[in-house]
Amino acid sequence: MKIERIDIIVTCPGRNFVTVKVVTSDGVHGLGDATLNGRELAVHAYLQEHVVPCLIGRDPRNIEDIWQYLYRGAYWRRGPVTMTAIAAIDMALWDIKGKLADMPVYQLLGGKSRDGLMVYGHANGRDHAEAVDAVLKHQEEGYKAIRVQSGVPGLEKTYGVGKTQGYYEPAEKGLPPEEPWDTALYLRHTPELFRKVREAVGPDAHLLHDAHHRLTPIEAAQLGKSLEPYRLFWIEDATPAENQESFRLIRQHTTTPLAVGEVFNAIWDCNQLIREQLVDYIRATIVHAGGITHVRRIADYAAMYQVRTGFHGATDLSPVCMAAAVNFGLWVPNFGIQELMPHSPLTDAVFPHNYRFEQGYLVMDEVPGLGVEIDETLAAQYPYERAYLPVARLRDGSMWNW
């Protein structure tokens, strides 16, 4: 059996997605997500020019060898563009293997460890009252775990707060929008937000919050400490993690659990964080961290230190990645939680999929492969449109982490 053709499909049903379709000489095909928000065409070019020509004619069943060939064989290792391209091919090959075996990918990984993946939804509001309402609405919809983000008085825009309720899409058409940031205001208002939310939802709901890389380590420590009375499930991306050691300082000061890694692309990005037990949940996800083959290594390594998974699942991770995440999460023994930002109905129509939300969990049936397809005719009606994530500046104009 040979890889006969690899198509790279770019579509924008409201937001951009890049999808790889690997077609074999047996007529079986597999899909992989290759979407890197705001840098989509870099991955497209990497695949088109540097990956696809090397794979034609290879045996698609040799997933591990192809992974090593693309990783070691590039000489230039790691990086988000490379690892997203590798991830897309890897996902497609697992999809093919599942279809060949007539089994879901979770069966190939070792079978089900659970019935469904507990997910957390996104409740947000322009102010605390709106955020509390959104949390209660999520509870009614069956969510057991809810991320809460709110506008900060005095800031025109805040990360995590969308234009419309129920759907948050940070990327905007055109060039990167600029948003102001003020750490002092944020640190002052956030404990108050969670006091109100915890009071409204009662003791059972799991509450999460994303600091989105805005804080220094000591500021993150202050936030963690101030939120302890409200018993958060986690604080996400408390501080940037290029310097993995910086999490030690946060850890020394707070028992609020920590999650990090949505921008990681290799096991090396989390090596010290896991080994020194500086975080509780690792968010490195299938599309941006080398596919199922590599994320499985991260999860196994994390399991040795009682670190659990908490994969990124924002709207820029396509239903193809979500299908892979559901398969992975059904198997992985040290599963923690899965992020879920539902896609728009149009995106769901472009990518028909088997997984679904049921009473706070993501579940899927015993279908072959990843359980996701692409409607190429519909996809073709929505060509790529340039879009970027925003950038952040402090009040004095200095660039900050968005």
Contacts of ligand EZ4 in 380-399 (CB under 6 A): 389
Catalytic status, residue 212: yes
Could you tell which of Co ion, ligand EZ4, none binds residue 90, using a CB distance below 5 to 8 A set by kind? none
80 or 224, CB closer to ligand EZ4?
80
Q: Residue 187 belongs to what H/E stretch?
A: helix 183-201
Q: For residue 140, which amino acid is it? A: E
Tokens 């805040």 found at: 158
Closest CA to 308 of 281, 337, 345, 269: 281
170 or 224, CB closer to ligand EZ4?
170
Catalytic residue among 122, 212, 288, 312, which? 212
Residue 173-212 contact track with Co ion, rule CB under 5 A, x = bound = -------------------------------------x--
Could you tell which of Co ion, ligand EZ4, none binds residue 37, using a CB distance below 5 to 8 A set by kind? ligand EZ4
Residue 205-244 contact track with Co ion, rule CB under 5 A, x = bound = -----x----------------------------------
Q: Output DSSP code: residue 148.
A: E
Contact 265, 90 (CB under 8 A): no
314 or 378, CB closer to ligand EZ4?
314
Closest CA to 108 of 125, 96, 124, 121: 96
Contact 88, 47 (CB under 8 A): yes
Q: Output DSSP code: residue 176.
A: P
CA distance 296 to 156: 41
Q: Residue 350 to residues 140, 195, 258, 378: CA-CA distances in angstroms?
A: 28, 41, 35, 6
Using DSSP bridges, classify how beta strands 258-260 and 234-236 pair: parallel, antiparallel or unpaired: parallel
Q: Which residue is closest to ligand EZ4 by CB? A: 314
CA distance 191 to 128: 11
Could you tell which of ligand EZ4, Co ion, none binds residue 280, using a CB distance below 5 to 8 A set by kind? none
CA distance 50 to 212: 33
Segment interacting with ligand EZ4, rule: CB under 6 A, options 86-94, 221-229, 310-318, 374-382: 310-318
Please state the closest distance from residue 252 (CB atom) to ligand EZ4, in A.
25
CA distance 71 to 89: 12
CA distance 11 to 385: 9
316 or 373, CB closer to ligand EZ4?
316
Please state the closest distance from residue 97 (CB atom) to ligand EZ4, in A.
28
Catalytic residue among 159, 168, 355, 382, which? 159
Catalytic status, residue 29: no
CA distance 44 to 292: 20
Contacts of Co ion in 261-290 (CB under 5 A): 262
Segment interacting with ligand EZ4, rule: CB under 6 A, options 89-97, 133-141, 177-185, 311-319: 311-319
Contact 89, 20 (CB under 8 A): yes
Contacts of ligand EZ4 in 257-276 (CB under 6 A): 262
Could you tell which of Co ion, ligand EZ4, none binds residue 316, using a CB distance below 5 to 8 A set by kind? ligand EZ4
Contacts of ligand EZ4 in 197-216 (CB under 6 A): 210, 212
Binder among 16, 24, 37, 265 for ligand EZ4 (CB under 6 A) = 37
Q: Which residue is closest to Co ion by CB? A: 210
262 or 316, CB closer to Co ion?
262
**Who contacts 134 (Cβ-Cβ below 8 Å, separation ≥6)?**
123, 124, 125, 148, 165, 166
Please, which residues bridge with residue 392 across strands? 179, 400
Contacts of ligand EZ4 in 38-77 (CB under 6 A): none
- Binding of ligand EZ4 at residue 170 (CB under 6 A)? yes
Q: Is 142 left (phi over 0), alpha (psi -120 to 50) or beta?
A: left
Binder among 314, 346, 363, 378 for ligand EZ4 (CB under 6 A) = 314
Please state the closest distance from residue 321 (CB atom) to ligand EZ4, in A.
11
3-state secondary structure of 349: helix
Kindly determine how many residues on this chain lie close enough to bind Co ion according to the rule CB under 5 A: 2
Please, which residues bridge with residue 17 across strands? 11
Contacting residues toward ligand EZ4, per CB under 6 A: 37, 170, 210, 212, 262, 312, 314, 316, 339, 389
Which residues form the interface with Co ion (CB under 5 A)? Answer: 210, 262
